[in-house]
Amino acid sequence: MKLVIAVVQDQDSGALTDTLMDRGFRATKLATTGGFLRQGNTTLLIGVQDHEVEDVVDIVKSTCRSRMQMMPPISIVGRSTESYIGQPVEVPIGGATIFVLDVARFERV
């Protein structure tokens, strides 16, 4: 058994959960916030059999896309003036970060 953890952009989470459910996968949805841009993400916890991992990863890859977004001036590291960016910057956001972990024990009660 495996646990797939998918961190996705909020804009992609609805379509992703719908597709997962249509394909028979259950997921637990958590509201999360990214550390760099401090924007909303969705983290999905998806328990699957070993042979289903690639199906879930393929669904995530086909549903979640990367996009570019203009970000206002921000302090990149901490709050020091050395790391302050004074102009808006275009940064890539979205896509997905996927972790696949072994599950030592699973129980549904």
53 falls within a domain:
yes
CATH number, domain of 73, equals 3.30.70.120
4-34 pLDDT tens trace: 999 998 889 999 999 999 999 999 999 988 7
95 falls within a domain:
yes
- From CA 58, how far away is CA 22, in angstroms rounded? 14
Instruction: Kindly state the tokens that stand for 66.
Output: 């990367």
59 falls within a domain:
yes
- From CA 61, how far away is CA 56, in angstroms rounded? 9
108 falls within a domain:
no
Structural domain for 50, as ranges: 2-102
Instruction: Kindly state the tokens that stand for 50.
Output: 């070993």
73 falls within a domain:
yes
Reduced to 3 states (helix: H, G, I; strand: E, B; else coil), residue 92 is: strand
45 pairs with which residues across the strands? 5, 28
Number of domains in the chain: 1
pLDDT tens for the chain, residues 1 to 109: 999 999 998 889 999 999 999 999 999 999 988 766 567 789 999 999 999 999 999 999 999 988 777 777 655 555 555 555 567 777 766 789 999 999 999 888 8
- From CA 101, how far away is CA 104, in angstroms rounded? 9
